[in-house]
Amino acid sequence: MRFQRTLRGTSSPHLIDSVPLINIVFLLLIFFILASRFNTTAGINVLVPGVVTSETVSARTLTITVSRTNNFSINGKTVTLREIENILATEKYRSILVKADPGANLGSVTRLWELCKQSGIETIGVATAEVT
């Protein structure tokens, strides 16, 4: 005796439900989009010099950018040396990271460095790109 097999709801027994797969793909896409945004730094695009040895900075470090045109910026906002002095007086940063374009004048970076030392900053670093 031979019985006939019936399938309920599908016309073919080999169909794979693709909705969970599409959900996973979209979740991964959203994850990588959000994760990549945490890597970007706000402000002026500056080319930093490359070095072989370097160290990473702590989270409580203020980054000051010096552009090729010798403008200073903090978090994408252009500031003057006087404004930097006020920020250093009100906010108690222990370390400063200077991100200077190689085309910036050494005098601008030196004035910033001297201002940080006068404000009592313990550690001043220079941002570089790692050369492998």
**How confident is the model over 72-128, as pLDDT tens digits?**
998 888 999 999 889 888 887 888 888 888 888 888 989 999 998 988 888 888 886
Q: What is the pTM of this model?
A: 0.55
What is the pLDDT at residue 63?
Answer: 87
The C-alpha R_g of the chain, in whole angstroms, comes to 27
The domain locations on the chain are 50-130
Sheet strands (E) in the chain:
50-51, 61-66, 72-74, 77-79, 95-100, 123-126, 129-130
Q: Write down the number of H helices and E strands in the chain.
A: 3, 7
Give the pairing of strands 50-51 and 77-79: unpaired
What sections of 38-120 are H helices per DSSP? 81-90, 106-118
Multiple choice CATH, 50-130, 2.50.20.10, 3.40.50.720, 3.30.420.270, 3.40.630.10: 3.30.420.270
Q: Is the dihedral of CA 80, 84, 89, 90 positive or negative?
A: positive
